[in-house]
Copies of this chain bind each other. A is one copy, B any other.
Amino acid sequence: MVVLNEKTAKKLNVFVDDRVAITNSKKVYAVVDIFPRLVKDKEIGLSHELGQILKLRNGASVEVSSSELSDASFLIKKKMNGESLDQKELEYLVSEIVHNNLTEAEIAFFTAAEKLNGMSDKETINLTKAMAKTGAKLKFREKYVADKHSIGGIAGNRTTPIVVAICAAAGLTLPKTSSRAITSASGTADVIETISNVELSLEEIKGVVKKTGACLAWGGSLGLAPSDDKIIQVERLLNLDIEPQLIASILSKKIAAGSKFVLIDIPYGESAKVATLSKAKKLGKKFERIGSKFKLKIKIVYTDGSQPIGNGFGPVLEMLDVLSVLQRSLGFPVDLRTKSIFLSAELMKLCGIKDARNKAREILDSGKACEKFQEIINAQNKNKNFDKIIQKLPLAKINKVIKAGKTGKITNIDNKKINSLCRILGTPETISSGVYLHKHIGKVKRGEPIMTLYTKSKSKLDDALQFIKKSKPINIQ
């Protein structure tokens, strides 16, 4: 970023976010910002970093020109025009993204071109390589460094804390990092944060993993494959799903985090990210083809994404689901338990553990998974009182039970609409808000509770009731 005043910018015919070339010992490109009084006419304000790159002191003269597109712009234009980018080109582009040398609009053009012109396997491999290469890295000496990833889109579906606990108790090493919610009711990081510190440094992650075999950290500020964070920030403007970017994003993060065994869950269903099993398999095959070029053992599972998984949606409500599965409390969500055991067993199998299904179930039922979970949280929390924290988990004061309007069958519960409903109620900002689902797909009688809404704000409750009326997230026939 460089700063000009308005007169100079006009003279150079540049606007905010345009690029200028600055020439001294070498030529660099920088993005322009315009401020009225920070610099005088014909002056340019450079960052300390840029001054060092150009070996310039205060008051030195430089040539500034708005004449050419940067190399990165040429590459994006090339991709927009339907051509392929090679390894060097993608490396350059990713490094320019990491060094903040591209505007968000340029990143938008790049991702739009990726989506609409597609990326070949070779391009996706090179993109993944480039993304994994830039940024911080974790390394572990253990043999079975493993990770589990769902491509998302299903409301609830908070299997990660349970799978991590089971697999760590089975002896695997899981340096698990998760994101916060982008468009869902909450992300795994939001859910864990209801009871634990999740903003760990790389050093802290190493410490927690060394001590407990796993962690449940927020990945956002770690700088693992940092270009991903910047690209996601642009994609989220439209909540876009861009297949090659999805693959590169997931795999590059796992590679940078030091994982060797990766289980990828692709849920399919009408309101999931992928609508049908055949589309899910097409995506899965691409994951396998790309993953095989890295030192990763990958297993893809295709799971039922026809309705939300678990009962609670929203940070606290999902944590309560997780705890009830781990603690085997009365009324635990059976679907969440079943899927968590399934995924744990698949990841254990991938790491060579035999009789994995029975072992996973045994670890959960014996309470070992719950112990391991507590151990991980305590390590992240520097041994604050676990029981006290979970007893104090708040639920929003305003609540409203929604009942079935008629007797019949719930034929459809829309994942996207349940997520939207939660966001209207205040998730993920208001951690105690969200939706509790009393019924899944199946029979229902008139007057039976279907869901309870939790929120802190009367007006949000009104909005939510309006939304239910208009959008019908749950369909009874």
Contact (A459, B181) CB under 8 Å given A77-B239, A234-B105, A423-B68: no
Chain B residues with CB under 8 A of A428: 13
Contact of A73 with B by CB under 8 A: yes
Query: What are 18 contact pairs spanning A and B, CB under 8 A?
Result: A13-B180, A13-B181, A13-B429, A18-B236, A65-B424, A65-B429, A67-B424, A68-B423, A68-B424, A76-B238, A77-B240, A104-B105, A106-B237, A108-B112, A109-B112, A109-B240, A112-B112, A112-B116
Further pairs besides A23-B459, A65-B429, A104-B108: 11, Cβ < 8 Å: A13-B180, A17-B233, A17-B237, A66-B429, A73-B239, A77-B238, A77-B240, A103-B104, A104-B105, A105-B234, A116-B116
Provide the bound-state CA to CA distance between A420 and B23, in Å: 17
User: Is the pair B429, A12 in contact by a Cβ cutoff of 8 Å?
Assistant: yes
Provide the bound-state CA to CA distance between A77 and B112, in Å: 10
User: Is the pair A17, B104 in contact by a Cβ cutoff of 8 Å?
Assistant: yes
Min Cβ gap A96→B in Å is 13
When C-beta atoms are compared, the residue in chain B nearest to A82 turns out to be B116
Which one, B67, B106, B234, B420, contacts A238 given CB within 8 A? B106
Contact (A80, B240) CB under 8 Å given A12-B429, A233-B15: yes
User: Is the pair B13, A460 in contact by a Cβ cutoff of 8 Å?
Assistant: no
The 6 closest A-B pairs by CB, nearest first: A67-B423, A112-B112, A108-B108, A116-B116, A104-B105, A105-B108
Interface bits A423-452 vs B (CB < 8 Å: 1, else 0): 110111100000000000000000000000
Contact of A115 with B by CB under 8 A: yes
Chain B residues with CB under 8 A of A429: 11-13, 65-66
Min Cβ gap A112→B in Å is 3
Provide the bound-state CA to CA distance between A76 and B239, in Å: 11
Chain B residues with CB under 8 A of A65: 423-424, 426, 429, 460
Interface bits A230-251 vs B (CB < 8 Å: 1, else 0): 0001101111100000000000
Contact of A113 with B by CB under 8 A: yes
When C-beta atoms are compared, the residue in chain B nearest to A421 turns out to be B67
User: Is the pair A238, B109 in contact by a Cβ cutoff of 8 Å?
Assistant: yes
Min Cβ gap A150→B in Å is 20
Contact of A457 with B by CB under 8 A: yes
Provide the bound-state CA to CA distance between A211 and B423, in Å: 61
Min Cβ gap A55→B in Å is 16
A residues 45-81 near B (Cβ < 8 Å) are 63, 65-69, 73, 76-77, 80
Provide the bound-state CA to CA distance between A428 and B67, in Å: 8
Chain B residues with CB under 8 A of A76: 238
Contact of A107 with B by CB under 8 A: yes
Chain B residues with CB under 8 A of A423: 65, 67-68
User: Is the pair A73, B238 in contact by a Cβ cutoff of 8 Å?
Assistant: yes
Which one, B23, B69, B103, B238, contacts A80 given CB within 8 A? B238
Min Cβ gap A296→B in Å is 30
Please indicate which of the listed interface residues A19, A109, A181 has the most CB atoms of chain B within 10 Å of its own CB.
A109
When C-beta atoms are compared, the residue in chain B nearest to A185 turns out to be B67
Which one, B63, B116, B459, contacts A63 given CB within 8 A? B459
Contact of A292 with B by CB under 8 A: no
Contact of A338 with B by CB under 8 A: no
Contact (A237, B18) CB under 8 Å given A105-B107, A457-B63: yes
Contact of A117 with B by CB under 8 A: yes
Contact (A68, B108) CB under 8 Å given A77-B240, A429-B12: no
A residues 1-36 near B (Cβ < 8 Å) are 11-13, 15, 17-19, 23
Interface bits A166-184 vs B (CB < 8 Å: 1, else 0): 0000000000000011000
Min Cβ gap A101→B in Å is 12
Provide the bound-state CA to CA distance between A107 and B237, in Å: 11
Contact (A112, B80) CB under 8 Å given A65-B423, A104-B105, A105-B105: yes
Chain B residues with CB under 8 A of A234: 105
A residues 394-425 near B (Cβ < 8 Å) are 420, 423-424
Interface bits A105-126 vs B (CB < 8 Å: 1, else 0): 1111100110111000000000
Provide the bound-state CA to CA distance between A19 and B239, in Å: 12
Provide the bound-state CA to CA distance between A384 and B68, in Å: 36
Chain B residues with CB under 8 A of A240: 77, 80, 109
Min Cβ gap A389→B in Å is 20
